[in-house]
Amino acid sequence: MRVSIVDYGAGNLDSVSKAFSFLGAEPVVVRTPEAIAVSDRLILPGVGAAGAAMKRLREGGLDEALTAAVRHRGVPMLGICLGMQLLAERLHEHETVSGLGWLPGDVNRIDGGSKHLRVPHMGWSGVRSTPAADRFFAETRGKREFYFAHSYTLATDAAAVAATVDYGANLTAAVLSGNVFAVQFHPEKSQKNGQALLQAFMDWNP
């Protein structure tokens, strides 16, 4: 299966590409609206600052191309880390910027809470999935642990939340909305459980 990984200057493309190659997929990096328009399955990875990421998406017309492909044409898409946060209406980092707006809600800095937990949330944590998202987590093992590395968290409608992680509060670990599945953690760094989740995404036909 061919999967298109969107390059907008904010993703660890090599790790994501290798993870899909390991599963027998054919990853291809796409950088233009034209390439996105002919993609059959999209990956939106991302690390770094939200404002700069959205600026690059908009400058290249990639935001409109993604909306056309995913929201209008129904292409399945997986968002990873920052790629999940960009789905929100508003992202509050160094400044407030508009996201893609596919999901209602905001992205705010993690509050360590009364336990004064370290921010960023970095390392292995177990997640709890909802019944609607069980297909993506069914083959994961043990405590369903995945590798996280983030300082900001998405708050959105409960109906879209596919999994949560306990880090001072129940933070959104994954979302599912129509043909869009996105995760806050890094499946490409999450060994067997990450491989199982990526395989489930490739097998998914929303």
Which entry of 121, 145, 150, 188 is annotated as an active-site residue? Answer: 188
- Told to judge if 186 belongs to the known catalytic residues of this protein, a careful annotator would answer yes
116 as an active site residue: the answer is no
Nearest to 186 by CA among 136, 157, 150: 150
Question: Which pairs from 124-130 meet CB under 8 Å and 24+ separation?
Answer: 124/148, 125/165, 125/166, 125/167, 125/185, 126/165, 126/166, 127/163, 127/164, 127/165, 127/173, 127/174, 127/185, 128/163, 128/164, 128/165, 128/173, 129/162, 129/163, 129/174, 130/161, 130/162, 130/163, 130/176
Q: Which of 81, 121, 145, 150 is catalytic?
A: 81
Catalytic residue among 121, 145, 150, 186: 186
| Catalytic residue ranges | 81, 186, 188
